[in-house]
Chain A
Amino acid sequence: NAGVTQTPKFQVLKTGQSMTLQCAQDMNHEYMSWYRQDPGMGLRLIHYSVGAGITDQGEVPNGYNVSRSTTEDFPLRLLSAAPSQTSVYFCASQSGGLPYEQYFGPGTRLTVT
């Protein structure tokens, strides 16, 4: 099993550009989520999905879109990048039953200039 994979590992965008961060998992997990990590702050939930076709907003959803057309894939779209979106982004998936163990991807470091 590859676990949770994310691409790209690094990305530099100019303000106003759009892009998609890719996330995939091969553990057949229903629950997937996107977090951002900023210095001095805990991981913050952007969007999550409880299964294919179902997504919902987390704590900091503004400026981001998600979709979940398959169980495996959960891409995060930045619609019009802003410097405030400079961060490290983590995708995670979660096992279906208790104890809901979290598996994290390796992260994407995004810089918006």
Chain B
Amino acid sequence: KNEVEQSPQNLTAQEGEFITINCSYSVGISALHWLQQHPGGGIVSLFMLSSGKKKHGRLIATINIQEKHSSLHITASHPRDSAVYICAVRLSSGSARQLTFGSGTQLTVLP
């Protein structure tokens, strides 16, 4: 079983819809990252969370440490949001610098 599981694997939405992508993990973590990978392949960091909630524009990320679960929400989705969204965790044991990645959620937003 993967230490980091994302759902759904694929998601298609209509422009304007509210989108939720989920990430569950089975290990103790010190932080969780949400990353975005555009069709051109580049990966950018969206959020780093260790507790609570963060918001940036139309993106909101939440984490529940007790339930080992995080969600990434996109409000008023737009076709330019189409990308792969990747959840990654920093383990609380072992190397504090290494990340363990989920397999990603492919989001397609249709106009």
Contact = CB atoms under 8 A, between A and B. Distances in A.
Contacts of A58: 98
A64 interface: no
B12 to A, nearest CB: 18
Interface in B36-59: 40-45, 48, 50
A86 B44 CA distance: 23
How many chain A residues sit at the interface, stated as a range, is 20 to 34
Contacts of B101: 42-44
Interface of A: 31, 33, 40-45, 48, 50, 58, 88, 90, 94, 99-104, 106-107, 109
Contacts of A40: 103
Interface string B88-111: 101000001111111110000000
Looking at chain A's contact residues, the main secondary structure is: strand
A82 B22 CA distance: 35
B97 A94 contact: yes
Interface residues of B, number: 25
Interface in B9-53: 31, 33, 35, 40-45, 48, 50
A99 B31 contact: yes
A100 B4 contact: no
Nearest to B33: A102
Nearest to B50: A99
A104 B42 contact: yes
A90 B44 CA distance: 12
Contacts of A101: 45, 48
